[in-house]
A = this chain, B = another copy of it.
Amino acid sequence: MILQNFGTAIRQLREKTGLSQEKFALSIDMDRTYYASVENGKRNISLKNIKKIADGLGVSLETLFQNLK
């Protein structure tokens, strides 16, 4: 459940940036298919990669996990 909720949260934030999955992944130097699988809640992502995504989205970790169960 947490993986799906996290994926949904980053998708919403990424869509706000106006970037496609591919362009966003490229901007943070992350493999596009790996990033897509994280948005789809399919990956048990590590803390370093969570931080990389938060930085790319321009939000704090606290904001990223806001209201996230």
Contacts and interface: CB of A to CB of B under 8 A. Distances in A.
Contacts of A65: 60-62, 64-65
B47 A44 contact: yes
Interface size class of A (residues with CB under 8 A): 10 to 19
Interface string A38-63: 00000011111011000000001110
Contacts of A46: 44-47
Nearest to A66: B62
A3 interface: yes
A67 to B, nearest CB: 7
Interface of A: 2-3, 6, 44-48, 50-51, 60-62, 64-69
